[in-house]
Amino acid sequence: GQNIDQPTEMTATEGAIVQINCTYQTSGFNGLFWYQQHAGEAPTFLSYNVLDGLEEKGRFSSFLSRSKGYSYLLLKELQMKDSASYLCAVKAAGNKLTFGGGTRVLVKP
């Protein structure tokens, strides 16, 4: 089976940096995704890591360590519109895609 853990909630100030951690246990690891979801809306893709290291995409970066079963999403220069849930998802053998419970990020002025 799969087990994906991420914090439930985080609060940060506009302009600051926030790091959302995700740990996972899975068999047949085939990649890790980060999605953003605003309340009542569909999740939208942010990043994908399949090899160890850091992937940078504008204000968002994602890191993966396969040996540690660990990833993080780094949000820089936070804006009010970044208030949302951030979902870590692991793709296992057979392309099964399982999501963690999500981390709700609240950005305060």
Partner 1 sequence: DSGVTQTPKHLITATGQRVTLRCSPRSGDLSVYWYQQSLDQGLQFLIQYYNGEERAKGNILERFSAQQFPDLHSELNLSSLELGDSALYFCASQGVNTEAFFGQGTRLTVV
Q: Which residues bind partner 1 (CB under 8 A)?
A: 33, 40-45, 48, 87, 89, 94-102
Choice between 40 and 58, CB closer to partner 1 = 40
Residue found by looking up tokens 């899975």 in the block: 26
DSSP, collapsed to helix, strand or coil, labels residue 100 as coil
Write down the least CB distance from residue 44 to partner 1, Å: 7
Choice between 15 and 101, CB closer to partner 1 = 101
Write down the least CB distance from residue 35 to partner 1, Å: 8
Choice between 59 and 96, CB closer to partner 1 = 96
CB under 8 Å to 88, separation ≥6 — which residues?
A: 4, 6, 20, 22, 24, 32, 33, 34, 71, 73, 99, 100, 103
